[in-house]
Amino acid sequence: MELILDIFLSFLKIGGFSFGGGYAMIPFIEKEIVNSHGWLSNTEFIDIIAIAEMTPGPIAVNSSTFVGYKIVGFGGAVAGTVGVILVSLILLIASGKYLESIKDSKALRNVFAGVRPAVLGLIVSAAISVGKTALVDYKSFIIGFVVLFSILKFKIHPILCVFMAGLIGFIVY
């Protein structure tokens, strides 16, 4: 029961203090799950992120569910999921009626102008962190480059790229 509470509190902290969506949350999740608690190894964490990206839904919710389930089972999955969404849900309900009145506020635009570069920094940090574990040999570098090039140059859908990379990985590894 104490571990379920720890999972809930960890994901409550992640959900409450992360901005910018799921990809921006990855460094927070990694710090909390891998570095602080040691619940998962770096490789396990990257696998969880890969699974969370491939399944429908927000990456933060999916990863919290998968991490909680891997650590404790069903109770951990519920604790992680509720923890990561609770602060956002409360803030959304509490501020919902006021958002319309402040949406054109100069102060709010200024806040978002400052938050956007920070979110980009978090996403780049997540990419570097994932890259350290995912890019382990020349084959993985080639797969990563081909996917990046395919998405940027030819606008190939990311889901197709993930499936193709999985197929290539199955064949070459």
Q: 42-53, pLDDT tens digit by residue?
A: 989 988 888 888
Percent of the chain with pLDDT over 90: 54
Distance CA 30, CA 40 (A): 9
Residue 155 lies in a domain: no
Q: Count of domains in the chain?
A: 1
72: CB partners within 8 A, 6+ apart: 3, 4, 7, 79
Residue 165 lies in a domain: no
Residue 167 lies in a domain: no
Residue 23 lies in a domain: yes
Residue 126 lies in a domain: no
Provide the pLDDT for residue 102: 82
Distance CA 25, CA 11 (A): 11
Distance CA 115, CA 123 (A): 12
Residue 90 lies in a domain: yes
Percent of the chain with pLDDT over 70: 99
Kindly state the tokens that stand for 35: 């570095």
Query: Which domain, by its residues, includes 79?
Result: 2-100
pLDDT (tens digit per residue) in 116-172: 898 888 888 888 888 888 898 999 999 999 999 999 999 999 889 988 999 999 999
Distance CA 93, CA 76 (A): 25
Residue of 79, 82, 88, 81 lying closest to 5 (CA atoms):
79
Residue 118 lies in a domain: no
Is the whole model's pTM more than 0.75, yes or no?
Answer: no
Residue 164 lies in a domain: no
